[in-house]
Every structure is written in C-alpha cells, then in structure tokens.
Amino acid sequence: MLHPTRRGAALVLALAVGLLSACSGDDGTADAAATTAHADGEHSESPSADASSAGPPSGSAAGGSAAPESAAPTGEAAPAEAQTLTATEGEMFIELSASSLSPGEYTIEVVNEGNATHDLVVERDGADVAATETIAPGASATLTVTLEAGEYVFYCSVANHRAMGMETPVTVSS
C-alpha cells in the first residue's frame, strides 16, 4: 500500500495530467499512456517512453521521425487525377463526351435527359466492371471506374433498353 502522502501526490499528478490532456488538441492516445505511466509513479520516464514508442528506433538521430513521415508520400508515385467523362442518356441512346479514351481512372457523370429511368453499366469481356443505380428522368449520377487498355461496352440494363440499342462500344488505348 502506498504511503498517504505518495498516494495524494500520485492522485494530484494524475488529475493534473488529465486536466492538461483535456486541453490538448491530439486524439488522446498518448495522453492515456502518459496518465497510466504517471499513476504508476513513472512520471520522469513516460515522455521518453511515449516518444520512443511513437518514433524511430532509439539509434536514430533527433528529429529523424519527421523525415520518414514527410519522405514517405514523396517516395511513392502521386496518384493520377481522375479524368472526367460525360455520358448522356436519352430515348434509347448513350452519347459520350469523348470518343477516344486512354487508360486511367475516370469519373463519369451520367445525365439522364430522357423520359424513362436509365442506368449505366460498364462491361468488359462480358463481365460488369461498374454500374450506377437507376437514374430518374432529368437526374444524374456519378460513377468512378478505372479503365485499362481494352474493349468495353457501356450500356443501360433497365428493362430491354440494351436490346433496343442503348449501348455503345468503347475502346481504351494507350
């Protein structure tokens, strides 16, 4: 059992750490570890313990933990921005805003200008790659899809719209 003076000091210290952690802007995970360490009487070692558990191995130079964090994103290839494509649907037709597509990620804005409900399905080699929900007349939807080089078919799967000509072949080439 702790001596009453030590128990009181530990309680005051734990309350002070709790109060200070409530004022900090971080998510509280380090504060919880620090509070636990202080309650156990390890107040002088908890900051270095927190730093070593969150940072690089102890053999690293000071400030070394910032370099790997900032270097990691620059070491990777920056993701290419999605290209935009508009698919306008109407009474049994699909019209694309571009006739030639290169491989990459596309954000397709599907606009239903018709009087019937439609959708847009992207198919490759007989398999559906991506699709929108049904789109009410006068409404639009957005579809994001990565297209690799090859042959695709964009079509409407509502009722027999595809059989009525609501499909368009799409070639993606480098």
Structural domains in the chain, sorted by start: 4-75 (no CATH), 83-172 (2.60.40.420)
pLDDT of residue 50: 42
pLDDT of residue 170: 97
The answer to pTM > 0.85 is: no
Q: What would the mean pLDDT of 151-161 be, rounded to a whole number?
A: 98
Would you say residue 56 has pLDDT above 60?
no
The answer to which of 65-74, 99-108, 123-132 has the lowest mean pLDDT is 65-74
Would you say residue 137 has pLDDT above 90?
yes
Would you say residue 38 has pLDDT above 80?
no
Q: What would the mean pLDDT of 75-79 be, rounded to a whole number?
A: 57
DSSP 3-state of 41: coil
Nearest to residue 119, comparing CAs of 78, 74, 167? 167
Q: What would the mean pLDDT of 32-47 be, rounded to a whole number?
A: 39
* pLDDT band at 33; cut points 50, 70, 90: very low
Distance, CA of 160 to CA of 158 (rounded, Å): 6
Distance, CA of 34 to CA of 31 (rounded, Å): 5
